[in-house]
Structures are given as structure tokens and as C-alpha cells.
């Protein structure tokens, strides 16, 4: 009786006396070979990539925070340059050199800032100087409006002194240390802050002039360093679209806010609020900041109304009610009609971006939060690898 191997007959390797290796002779049924364990390796690589991403993000945030004295003028100048670039192009069509048109435009801007500061800065500084007195008057006014019950601090003091005799209360008052706040460094801090502000403003204006006077030099340099023709075209398209979108957005928003400030100031003037033009300018500037700006404007106008009209609560509430009505009309009718759906971003992303940039750079960061989102949205729409980011930013 012969075996199955013998029945199959000797193969060529058997005739030549060469024996096959065990791995080659093993059947390809999958039962004898064990799979390579690649899942732990992939999991380890994913954890490493996640850790590297987290470190890069934290490092970038730290760099942005500590480098804000240098980065803030650059970002402000770039956003202002993108906004004013169409005016420079229009002047070039009129055969005016970019350096000349940029100088004229900046002189007009500086003159407007100086005139606005001289006209509205003095009453604003006076109001800020008298802010402690205003807060005391406002507290008394609120206590008159809401008379029931004692203030919370008095209630807490009464609970703390519950059951104590008069002698114990007097002895406790003697032993309680008196804290005196000495404001020796206030003037120095104000001077230092003013110096830093003026230095940053000067750097922003100088850099803005250089960006406007140079024309499209940086875009030409960017196109030259791109490796392929497709990358060059994509860079030009992204740059032009970012400039166009930010310019249209800020120009439209500026016109809307100017109209809003004028109408609010006119209403406050007829109501009888002093320095109505100053509050109109304040409302127009604060309306550049989404969400927080209108809320701050309503709160401040409510305080101004309560301080101005002590006899009538209804008349005191007319100022914030007027601004609230105009803001609702502007936010729900005028702004969507002028801007359309090109700048329809996710409200949650706008709010998170506003909180992040305000924490990072303060008020300038709040003003830059939406232009930064618009730039990221344009880049995400043009780069296929960032399509998920574009879908996240769209409402």
C-alpha cells in the first residue's frame, strides 16, 4: 500500500535531491500561518500623532500669547491692508502711484482718528474719571427702584452678628483691621499703557503704509516660490478671495455700524441723553464685536438712562430699548440683506472664536476674530484636505 505522496509521484525537486523549505511546503489554508499583529502598532502611531498635534497646538497658543506685542500690529495691518486694497487698485486705474495713494489714504485715516478723539475723547475721559461717582449714584437709583429687603451685604453682616451683644460687636470692630488701598502706581500704569498703545498704533500705521505702497509684491513673491503651476493658481485665487471677502465684509459692516451709530445718536438726542454723539460712536464701535458688543452697549445705555432720568423709570429705559430695537432690525434684516450668505458662518464657531481671541489678545482680538474666521473659511474651501474644516465653519 502506497502513501498519497508516492501516488502523486516524485516531483522535480525530489528527483534532483533538493528538499523544499518548511515555509514553502506549508499549505496556504491560513490555519497554519499566524497573522502579524499590526493593531497595537497602529494604535501606538495614532497616540503619537495625537500627542504631537496637542503639543503643536499648545505651543502655537503659547507663542501667540507671548508674542502679541509683535503679532498684533502685523495682524491689524494685514486686515486693514486687505480692506483698503481695493481703493489702492482703483487709484492705480487713475494713474496714481500706490505710494502716493497710500500716503493720502493714511493721512485721511489719521486725521479722522485725531478729530474723533478731540471731539469725543474729552467727554469720554470725563465720564470714565467720574465712574466711581456714577456707580454710587447708580446703586442708589437701583435701591430706590427695588426697595424690598436689605442689600445682600447687610444681610450677610446681620447673619454674622446674630446673637452677639453690643460689647462684643464694639470689640470686634476694634480688632478688625482697616485696609487702606493706596493707588500709588495708577498714574504710572496709565502712562505705561498709553505708551504701549501709541507704540503699537504707530507700528500698525507704518506697516499698513508699507503693505499698501508695495502693491502686489508679496503675492508675486508667494507665486514664485510655489513649486507647480496648480499651486501658483491656487495661491493667487486664495489671496484674491481672502482680500475680496474681508474687504466686502468690513466695508459693509462699517457702513452698517456708521448708520446704526447715527440713528442711535439721533434717538438719544431726542430722548434727552447728554453727549448723544459720543454714545452713538461707542455703539458703532462696539457693534464690530459680535454678541458681546451689543450686550455691553445695552447695559451701558441702561446705566446712562438711569443716571440721567431719575424721576421716570420708563424714560430711563427708553435709551437701551431704542438701541435694542435698532440692533434687532440691523442683525435680522439689514446685515443679512447686504452680506447675503457669503459670510454665513456657524454661530457656535463665531462665539468660540470670539471667546478665544478675546482671551488671547483682548479687545483687538475680539475685533479680529471674524476676519480670521473668514480667512480660514476661504482657505478651507480652496484646499481639498481642509474640506472638513470648511463644513464645520459653515452654518
Are 313 and 247 found together in one domain?
Answer: yes
pLDDT computed for residue 262 by the predictor? 93
Q: Are residues 206 and 102 in the same domain?
A: yes
Rounded to 10 degrees, the C-alpha dihedral 148/149/150/151 comes to -80
Coarse DSSP helix, strand, coil percentages of the chain, rounded to the nearest 5 percent: 80, 0, 20
Same-domain status, 316 and 203: no
Do 202 and 112 belong to one domain? yes
Long-range pairs for 256-260: beta carbons < 8 A, 24 or more residues apart: 256/287, 256/330, 256/334, 256/335, 256/338, 257/284, 257/285, 257/287, 257/288, 258/284, 260/284, 260/287, 260/326, 260/327, 260/330
Backbone angles phi, psi at 36, to 5 degrees: -75, 130
Would residue 189 count as lying in a domain? no
Residue 212 near residue 85, CB atoms below 8 Å: yes
| CA-based radius of gyration for the chain | 34
Query: Both 123 and 255 in a single domain?
Result: no
- How many domains are contained in the chain? 3
Q: Are 288 and 392 within one domain?
A: no
Residue 364 covered by a domain: yes
Residue 129 lies in a domain: yes
Tell me the residue range of the domain where 287 lies: 243-341
Instruction: Give the per-residue pLDDT at 159.
Output: 41
Answer yes or no: do 272 and 305 share one domain. yes
Task: Give a yes or no: residue 200 inside a domain.
Answer: yes
Q: Are residues 266 and 127 in the same domain?
A: no
**pLDDT at residue 25, rounded to an integer:** 44
The verdict on 390 and 332 lying in the same domain is no
Q: Is 53 a domain residue?
A: no
Whether residue 319 lies inside any domain: the answer is yes
- Asked whether residue 95 falls in the same domain as residue 128, the answer is yes
Closest CA to 85 of 254, 239, 222: 239
User: Could you tell me if 204 and 323 lie in one domain?
Assistant: no
Average pLDDT per block of 10 residues along the chain, 395 residues long: 45 45 46 54 70 86 89 88 84 85 89 80 73 73 60 46 49 48 52 71 87 77 74 78 81 88 92 87 88 89 84 82 91 78 74 89 86 82 78 78
Residue 36 lies in a domain: no
Domain assignment present for residue 318? The answer is: yes
Indicate whether 275 and 350 sit together in one domain. Answer: no
Q: What pLDDT, on a 0 to 100 scale, did the predictor assign at position 145?
A: 67
Tell me the three state secondary structure of residue 165: coil
Amino acid at each position: 500500500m502506497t502513501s498519497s505522496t508516492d501516488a502523486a509521484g516524485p516531483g522535480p525537486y525530489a528527483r534532483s535531491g533538493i528538499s523544499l523549505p518548511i515555509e514553502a511546503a506549508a499549505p496556504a489554508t491560513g490555519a497554519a500561518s499566524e497573522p502579524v499583529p499590526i493593531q497595537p502598532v497602529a494604535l501606538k502611531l495614532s497616540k503619537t500623532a495625537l500627542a504631537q498635534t496637542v503639543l503643536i497646538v499648545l505651543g502655537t497658543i503659547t507663542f501667540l500669547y507671548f508674542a502679541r506685542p509683535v503679532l498684533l500690529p502685523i495682524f491689524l495691518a494685514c486686515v486693514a491692508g486687505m480692506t483698503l486694497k481695493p481703493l489702492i487698485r482703483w487709484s492705480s486705474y487713475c494713474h496714481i502711484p500706490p505710494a502716493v495713494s497710500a500716503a493720502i489714504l493714511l493721512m485721511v485715516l489719521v486725521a479722522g482718528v485725531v478729530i474723533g478723539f478731540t471731539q469725543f475723547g474729552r467727554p469720554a475721559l470725563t465720564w470714565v474719571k467720574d465712574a466711581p461717582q456714577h456707580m454710587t449714584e447708580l446703586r442708589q437709583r437701583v435701591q430706590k427702584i427695588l426697595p424690598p429687603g436689605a442689600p445682600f451685604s447687610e444681610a450677610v453682616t446681620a447673619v454674622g452678628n446674630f446673637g452677639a451683644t453690643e460689647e462684643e460687636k464694639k470689640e470686634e470692630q476694634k480688632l478688625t483691621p482697616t485696609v487702606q488701598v493706596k493707588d500709588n502706581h495708577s498714574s504710572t500704569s496709565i502712562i505705561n499703557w498709553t505708551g504701549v498703545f501709541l507704540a503699537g498704533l504707530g507700528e500698525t500705521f507704518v506697516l499698513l503704509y508699507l503693505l499698501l505702497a508695495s502693491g502686489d509684491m508679496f503675492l508675486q513673491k508667494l507665486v514664485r516660490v510655489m513649486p507647480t503651476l496648480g499651486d501658483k493658481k491656487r495661491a493667487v485665487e486664495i489671496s484674491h478671495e481672502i482680500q475680496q471677502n474681508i474687504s466686502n465684509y468690513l466695508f459693509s459692516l462699517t457702513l452698517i455700524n456708521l448708520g446704526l451709530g447715527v440713528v442711535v445718536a439721533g434717538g438719544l438726542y431726542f430722548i434727552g441723553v447728554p453727549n448723544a454723539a459720543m454714545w452713538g460712536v461707542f455703539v458703532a464701535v462696539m457693534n464690530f464685536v459680535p454678541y458681546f458688543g451689543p450686550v455691553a452697549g445695552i447695559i451701558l445705555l441702561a446705566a446712562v438712562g438711569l443716571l440721567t432720568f431719575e424721576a421716570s423709570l420708563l424714560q430711563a429705559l427708553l435709551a437701551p430699548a431704542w438701541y435694542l430695537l435698532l440692533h434687532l432690525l440691523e442683525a435680522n434684516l439689514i446685515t443679512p440683506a447686504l452680506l447675503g450668505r457669503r459670510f454665513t458662518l456657524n454661530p457656535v464657531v463665531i462665539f468660540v472664536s470670539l471667546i478665544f481671541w478675546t482671551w488671547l489678545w483682548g479687545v483687538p482680538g475680539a475685533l479680529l476674530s471674524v476676519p480670521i474666521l473668514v480667512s480660514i473659511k476661504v482657505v478651507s474651501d480652496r484646499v481639498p484636505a481642509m474640506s472638513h474644516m470648511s463644513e464645520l465653519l459653515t452654518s
